[in-house]
Structure 1
Amino acid sequence: MSEELTAVGWDAIDQALRQVYSEQEPMHYGTMIPYSLGGQDPLDGISVYKSETPIPHWHFVTYGFSELYEKEFDNQEYSGYGFELTFRLVRNENEEEPPAWALNLLQNMGRYVFNSGNVFRVGDYLDANGPICLDADTQLTALAFTYDPQLAEINTPNGKMEFIQMVGISEDELEAMQTWNTLGVLEAGIEQIPSYITDLTRNSLLQNQEVVAAVEHGMEEDGSNTGFLFVDQLAWEIGKKGWFNKQSNVIQLGAKQAEVISKLLRGRILKDKNLSLVGQQITIQFKADSQVGYREDGQEITISLNRAAVEELSQKLVPQESQFTVSSLAGVSFQILKTHIKNQEGAVVKTIG
């Protein structure tokens, strides 16, 4: 039996796209050497369509996060990771081919998923720590993930899968999504980014006061949907015992994420929701409690805070190198460290704190 006849997952994706683009033949960028055999690109291919609505743009669709051929994953309900990524990018006049950087970005998303095992779901976000298009003069330095407005979930012979659209976002939009929720921020800005089409030249949604008001109202009413935050600079230093006293234990945080952690504490703990900061070696969980204190359990530290402690801590968490205590939290101090942002070559391009 030929590979073409067994590509049942691939055929299901093609069928979904034919319902949108009819007989348009996409530009397809395939992978010559499979990733499993040492190739550089993890995805089997990316198809790109020309769309004219609501504005002219390129519509990218991946092939490879789901099971394109025979069933291999144990989970019978979903095909592969359960999704394929899409990406909509403004198409310039006279532009006849999609830009290569967007294809590379999608392949990088494939490397991230295949190498880490972490998958994308609607409502997720990802900080790129720099322009999503390298060397571009753009404010878009992160990505958000939402539903593709034209492609619904489908059932394939290998299980169901959905099309998750990737959207370029700015640093302050990312912070708003962290402190409220991704879909709420995107919906508030839909007039500025119709169909969530990425435009490298656009300004932040938060320059629009109506969007700002919607985000502030959502944060106040709903709190934050971010229960887990991955923090690069996170450490727990155990205090040393002396002859007459014991130094406090120290929670170390990077300046880059100090401010967003401040907002998350208010958006989670004040709504009786836990917040976990996840580092490479340690997890620090904050939870609401009438009694302030801390508990050590191996690589997990639990910090209990009441409203007054949250208010005090959130005011002191600013992106500036410092060390401080919370008056009601005995035995623990906080240290804010400088954050050095590096480019792909490892050179420091920005220092925060």
Structure 2
Amino acid sequence: MNQEENTSGWDAIDQAMHQLYGEQEHKHYGTAIPYILGGPDPLNGISAYAVNEPTPHWHFVTYGFSELYDKESDDASRSGYGFELTFRLTRCENESEPPAWALNLLQNMGRYVFNSGNLFQPGDYLDANGPICLNSDTLLTALAFIKDPDLPQLDTPNGSVQFIQMVGITYRELEMIQSWNTRSFLATCESYMPKYVTDLMRNSYADIPAVIQATERGIEVDGSSTAFLFIQQLSWESPRKKMLMKNIPAKLQIGAKQVTLLSSILRSRIAKNATLSLIGPDINIVFEAGELPSLVETDQEVRLIVNQETVDEITGQLRPQAGSFEVASLDKLRIEIVPTQITDQEGNVIKTIG
């Protein structure tokens, strides 16, 4: 006698979508070969609903970040990774099928989570390092993550599931988010993109005076929520390795692409007595607020104690162009800015910063 398959997790997502859209017919795109058997797509499926309000768009929802069938993880409170992703994308009047690139983007998010173990939470952001739709002229090169405005958290037999919506953003908007925080910035922009519908062809909200003013006020009042910056071009040269050479300062090297953002976040974090950690391939650099500037070096990290005067000294000279300067109050620490090369998917250099 064959026991009927348990689909309680899948059914819970179906029921949530049914409560939102009723009997509306939707498109569903399943996976031919399961990921566990060597298939290329980690998500079991993606559904897309054609929605007309507040503007015509596709509303995508994933199946696979949570436990769709039997309970397998040890965490009884959470189903799988504890979330499913949603995505809202503008829809043309005569568009009968959602664009394939959006499905691929969601599967790529699946690969990222399944391969890295890093989970998405509302308030997160991700730099795509290029157009979220490959080979398009869109300005949207990053993603922000927020609670889906129409789908509350589910309590399923396998644990809780929250619906986290991806939102396409521009690089300048990403910088504003990093300098402030995701939720507040998106709330500021909500009147321009109700329901946070992604529009590939839109201009940057970073050019709107009201958004600029709200962000500046928010940074001043709230500071930056960014406690960690992951920087590929980050290195540290210790003076301890040059003991035979006197008066040689330590050297911090950073890529030109990151310095404008670093300047903004560093000011904001230290003004609120909060730390900022730069995470590189081989070294962690931690900026910490303190009255007396100093430099503390261990094998695992470098801790730079800075006051407002030191921050002003550093940020006043951080520019996205190759060069170097000394920070007198930090034992003549030398900060060197090196060019950053931006490459396409094939590794070809398409732009050099600095």
Bucket of the pairwise TM-score, normalised by the shorter protein:
over 0.9
Post-superposition shift, 1:299?
Answer: 2.2
Task: Give the match for residue 133 of structure 1.
Answer: 133
Task: Give the match for residue 344 of structure 2.
Answer: 343
> Percent identical across equivalent pairs?
56
- TM-score under structure 1 length normalisation: 0.97
Task: Give the match for residue 280 of structure 2.
Answer: 279
Cα distance in 2 for residues equivalent to 1:84 and 1:46: 10
Cα distance in 2 for residues equivalent to 1:195 and 1:244: 61
**What aligned pairs does 1:135-284 form with structure 2 within 5 A after superposition?**
135-239=135-239, 240-241=241-242, 243=244, 245-284=246-285
AA matched with 1:161:
V
AA matched with 1:184:
S
Task: Give the match for residue 47 of structure 2.
Answer: 47
Task: Give the match for residue 292 of structure 1.
Answer: 293
Indicate the larger mover: 241-250 or 107-116.
241-250
AA matched with 2:148:
D
Cα distance in 2 for residues equivalent to 1:244 and 1:283: 25
AA matched with 2:176:
A
Cα distance in 1 for residues equivalent to 2:64 and 2:55: 28
Post-superposition shift, 1:241?
Answer: 2.1
AA matched with 2:133:
C
Unaligned segments of structure 2, at least 5 residues: none
SS of alignment partner, residue 226 of structure 2: coil
Post-superposition shift, 1:232?
Answer: 1.3
Task: Give the match for residue 29 of structure 2.
Answer: 29
Post-superposition shift, 1:49?
Answer: 0.5
Query: Cα distance 1:261–1:48, how it changes in 2: closer, same or farther (>3 A)?
Result: same
Cα distance in 2 for residues equivalent to 1:14 and 1:167: 22
Alignment check: 8 A CA contact 2:242 2:248 kept: yes
SS of alignment partner, residue 259 of structure 1: helix
Post-superposition shift, 1:275?
Answer: 0.5
Question: For 1:90-143, what per-residue CA distance to the aligned partner results, in whole angstroms no more than 9, with x for missing partners?
Answer: 001101000000000000001111111111100000001111001111111100
After the TM superposition, which segments of 4 or more aligned residues of structure 1 sit over 6 Å from their partners? Answer: 1-4
Cα distance in 1 for residues equivalent to 2:40 and 2:276: 37
Task: Give the match for residue 66 of structure 1.
Answer: 66
Q: Give the aligned length.
A: 353
- TM-score under structure 2 length normalisation: 0.97
Post-superposition shift, 1:324?
Answer: 1.1
Alignment check: 8 A CA contact 2:326 2:332 kept: no
Task: Give the match for residue 81 of structure 1.
Answer: 81
Unaligned segments of structure 1, at least 5 residues: none
Post-superposition shift, 1:244?
Answer: 5.0
AA matched with 1:282:
I
Alignment check: 8 A CA contact 2:88 2:198 kept: yes
Question: For 1:164-216, what per-residue CA distance to the aligned partner results, in whole angstroms no more than 9, with x for missing partners?
Answer: 00000001100000000111111111111111000001111122111111001
